[in-house]
Amino acid sequence: MHYLSTRGGIAPVGFTDAVMMGLATDGGLLVPADIPQIDTGTLRAWSGLRFQELALEVMTPFVGEEIPRADLRALIDASYATFSHPEVTPVVEADGVRILELFHGPTAAFKDVALQFLGNLFESLLARDGGSLNIVGATSGDTGSAAIYGVRGKQRIQIFILHPKGRVSPIQERQMTTVLDANVHNLAVRGTFDDAQNIVKALFNDLPFKSAYRLGAVNSINWARILAQTVYYFYAWGRISGGDPARRVSFAVPTGNFGDVFAGYLAKRMGLPIDRLIIATNRNDILTRFVHTGAYAVGDEVYQTLSPAMDIQIASNFERYLYFLHDGDTARIRALLADLQATGRLEIEPERQARVRSDFDAVAVSDPETLEQIRATHAASGYILCPHTAVGVRAAGDRDGVVCLATAHPAKFNEAVTAAIGREAAAPPSLRGLMEKEVRCAELEATVGAVKSHLEVTLGALAGGDA
């Protein structure tokens, strides 16, 4: 399998290079040159597989010959051994709604499904090809801890995660700063999330620094993350359909950066019998407006909502969808992105919009509606939704046969839960005792210079230690 850039500016690369590159060198996103087609006989056979076996089958055509099957199997087994549920991503039912629980990993959010795999994949590729990787990222909450848990204790990898000091929830902060492995470096910067994000962007744009210090990214644009997330769409379909290819299933997907829902789109393009993919957004509704109007228009500001992981203006994976919507016409993608850059807006042709509407439904859900959904589901079934999941359940409405993706454990967002039902959700073991544990974190000014010299000093000391 070869990978191309959505912007058409790179020679085709294999899976390993696509993973290590993260963002394509022309600024675009990496996409597979073609989408493997899964026939109905294969679907039927896959429907009985355990999650790990299914992951091996779904990933194999995308990985190609680059990783031997036994090695890929070992990577997958190691990645999902850290999950607390034997099914990894079980489907449960609450108040007549099917819930695909994606939060049984070490940090209790769905990002573990992809980042546990990506961490092991990085480690194995570095062990095989040599070299080392220094991951740098900014987080407003969930991604940082999932990335840290993905690579903690791993050889040849250091991870530096910037978070805005005092502006992530106490649980989220502790999930990061209580990880004491020597390769984990938490940096609290005295500024906002945007400051932290801009510092990271500046470091990656400093190409000499980036290559001298072998900086790598773990944000949701890495192809391996999409690939790992595609697996649970197949898994949920198998549990529900019993392998009957005539059985179509719809999914409601709480959406921020369009990574999760793009994975669902990929599954559909591979031949999984998906009826509707419902994009569920909060008040930050750029994607919902796009589906309804064909115009992707950046609003004035990012609103803070009860579902903070979806408080996003520009969905970083959206470019991948644009690429497939335009049948790989990279010149057209470049023109659309230039419009977006210049005017904050891009618009697709009406005949394309008809295709968008056949691919997706989209619903924006307000904070009061989110709380009302948590309350209603709890009253009817005793099941507690996290606010992101509640956005998806609300968006599904009374449509039949929808699987709602549960993207976080409710105990991570107990403020919203308490506002809805008057009490907290009980924490799973991974979230217990965090406030009592030892922490390690450096505090820095929110400037590129401060972070750069911190990286230089830390990595310089490590290199010295090796000599």
* Residues taking part in catalysis: 111
Residue with Cβ nearer ligand PLP (16 or 366): 366
Residue with Cβ nearer ligand PLP (109 or 274): 109
DSSP state letter for 13 = B
Residue among 238, 259, 240, 318 at smallest CA distance from 110: 259
Residue with Cβ nearer ligand PLP (158 or 220): 220
**DSSP assignment of 391-402, as one string?**
HHHHHHTT-TTE
H/E element holding 381? Answer: helix 367-381
**Least separation, in Å, of the C-beta of 391 and ligand PLP?**
8
Tokens encoding 338:
């230039």
Answer yes or no: are the C-beta atoms of 362 and 394 closer than 8 Å.
Answer: no
Residue with Cβ nearer ligand PLP (5 or 222): 222
Q: Interface with ligand PLP by CB under 6 A: which residues?
A: 109, 111, 142, 220, 254-260, 309-310, 388, 407-408
Answer yes or no: are the C-beta atoms of 101 and 84 closer than 8 Å.
Answer: no
**Least separation, in Å, of the C-beta of 459 and ligand PLP?**
28
H/E element holding 91? Answer: strand 91-94
**Least separation, in Å, of the C-beta of 261 and ligand PLP?**
6
H/E element holding 32? Answer: strand 30-32
**Least separation, in Å, of the C-beta of 12 and ligand PLP?**
26
Judged on CB neighbours under 10 Å (0-12, 13-18, 19+), 41 is exposed
C-alpha to C-alpha distance for 192 and 241, rounded to whole angstroms: 46
**Least separation, in Å, of the C-beta of 56 and ligand PLP?**
23
**DSSP assignment of 44-65, as one string?**
HHHTTS-HHHHHHHHHHHHHGG
Neighbouring C-beta atoms of residue 384, cutoff 10 Å: 23
Provide the strand spans (E) within 170-328. 184-190, 215-216, 249-254, 274-281, 295-297
**Least separation, in Å, of the C-beta of 408 and ligand PLP?**
4
Tokens encoding 350:
């009406």
Residue among 440, 450, 400 at smallest CA distance from 195: 450
**Least separation, in Å, of the C-beta of 395 and ligand PLP?**
12
C-alpha to C-alpha distance for 143 and 29, rounded to whole angstroms: 19
Q: Is 232 helix (H, G, I), strand (E, B) or coil?
A: helix
Answer yes or no: are the C-beta atoms of 388 and 410 closer than 8 Å.
Answer: no
Residue with Cβ nearer ligand PLP (98 or 409): 409
The residue with tokens 């991570």 is 412
C-alpha to C-alpha distance for 441 and 169, rounded to whole angstroms: 15
**Least separation, in Å, of the C-beta of 407 and ligand PLP?**
3
H/E element holding 138? Answer: strand 133-138
Residue with Cβ nearer ligand PLP (187 or 309): 309
**In sequence order, what are the residues at sequence separation of 6 or more whose Cβ sits closer than 8 angstroms to the Cβ of residue 245?**
40, 43, 44, 273
